[in-house]
Amino acid sequence: MVRILPRDVLRGLPTVSTTDVDDAHQKIADLFCGHDLVPQTRGTFVDMKLRSLHRGDVGIEFLDYGADVRISPEGLENFHLIQIPLAGHAHMEVGSSSVDSSPKTATVPPIDRPFTMTWDRGTPHLIVYVSRLALASVAAQLYGEDPQGNDSRSSDPGGDPEKSVKLGYAMDLTGSAGRAFLRSVVELHDDMIGQQEKTAPTFVQKLLADTMVSRLLLAMSPVTEADHSSPASESRLIRQFRELLERHASEELGVPDIAENLGVSVRTLQLALRSEVGATPSELLRRVRLDRARELLLAAAPGQETIVSIAERCGFSHQGRFSALYLDTFGELPSESLRR
């Protein structure tokens, strides 16, 4: 895993410091958005340290409140943040969802709804800033379509794709995609620092920024505005995954086959399912097969169907394993369902 030390983030740039809560609140509000800032321990002081550097549509911040604090932003609206603890522990709540954050897990706040965070004392953050428009633009290049699902070569010029790309609430920084994102952040950081006194070709600066945003998208599994407005709040990818399982659950399906059919990597599918459903692809495939087996068992007439034949039709080749899973899931044996 890429190791980033707090003292190395934007080293050489001026550090804005304050112990006054109101002053800290105002500085962060000016940089990001309106929010409430409340110390969580006795006294009303913080020991905030802030360094910030932006270049076009991307930016990097170092922020350490130096105290246990609770932060309740109003909503980001025009930009995305990836908040990476360099030490310590933080927690974010978005409605009924929550994320525990550490150097192994970054938080990615929503851009269109309120959320609340608690940062423990001793939890300095490296924060990556990306404008909504830049994320939408790179997403169109990366996936060949705009965030609304239209072919990027013929998308409606009157549309507003910058308001459509959304991300999950957490990023795993220990996997290959998360590590690749961190490496791209370090490369962008070092270039931004190095270019303070000289100007690199514009295309080189854009390449580094676009690479970082691409790595962000690959590590996060983006979803769309329409996905979040659905009754179940599931992304299009998850809905397509469920539909595929319903159609082909009884076939010889492996997770790589499913991911290939959906046009994503196994890692992207796993992260999306874990973020939205809290389960792995294999667990959901098994549950769909069990549900189908139960339907067939309850509908079968005794003597016309056997447990073995139904289990095999639903993708279970091991009778003992099937019976154990069925009992654990439905609280009765397959033979009891068949006799109903």
- Residue 169: closest CA among 106, 84, 76, 236: 106
Asked if 163 and 237 sit in the same domain, the reply is no
Asked if 160 and 243 sit in the same domain, the reply is no
Summarize pLDDT for 171-204 with one digit per residue, the tens: 999 888 899 999 999 999 999 988 655 556 677 7
CATH code of the domain containing 313: 1.10.10.60
Residue 173 lies in a domain: yes
Q: Which of 199, 220, 241 is the last residue of a domain?
A: 220
CATH code of the domain containing 104: 2.60.120.10
Q: How far apart are CA 17 and CA 296, in angstroms?
A: 67
Which regions of 21-104 does DSSP assign to beta strands (E)?
Answer: 35-39, 45-55, 58-64, 69-73, 79-85, 90-94, 97-101
pLDDT string in tens for the chain (340-residue length)? 678 999 999 999 999 999 999 999 999 999 999 999 999 887 678 999 999 999 999 999 999 999 999 999 977 889 999 999 999 999 999 887 889 999 999 999 998 888 999 999 999 999 999 999 999 988 887 766 544 444 433 333 334 444 457 788 999 998 888 999 999 999 999 999 886 555 566 777 888 999 999 999 988 855 444 444 443 445 677 778 888 887 877 777 788 888 888 877 787 788 777 766 777 888 888 888 888 888 888 888 767 788 898 888 888 888 888 999 989 888 889 888 887 6
- Residue 119: closest CA among 170, 68, 153, 77: 68
Note the pLDDT of residue 230: 40
Q: How far apart are CA 107 and CA 92, in angstroms?
A: 7
Contact indicator for 14, 192 with CB cutoff of 8 Å: no
State the distance between the two ends of the chain, measured CA to CA, in whole angstroms: 55
Q: Which of 201, 220, 239 is the last residue of a domain?
A: 220
Q: How far apart are CA 259 and CA 288, in angstroms?
A: 17
Find where tokens 């409605």 sit.
Answer: 95
Mean of per-residue pLDDT scores for the chain? 83
- Residue 90: closest CA among 111, 109, 74: 109
Asked if 198 and 244 sit in the same domain, the reply is no
Q: How far apart are CA 184 and CA 148, in angstroms?
A: 27
Asked if 173 and 244 sit in the same domain, the reply is no
Buried b (16+ CB within 10 A) or exposed e, 146-178: bbbeeebeebeeeeebbbbbbbbbbbbbebebb
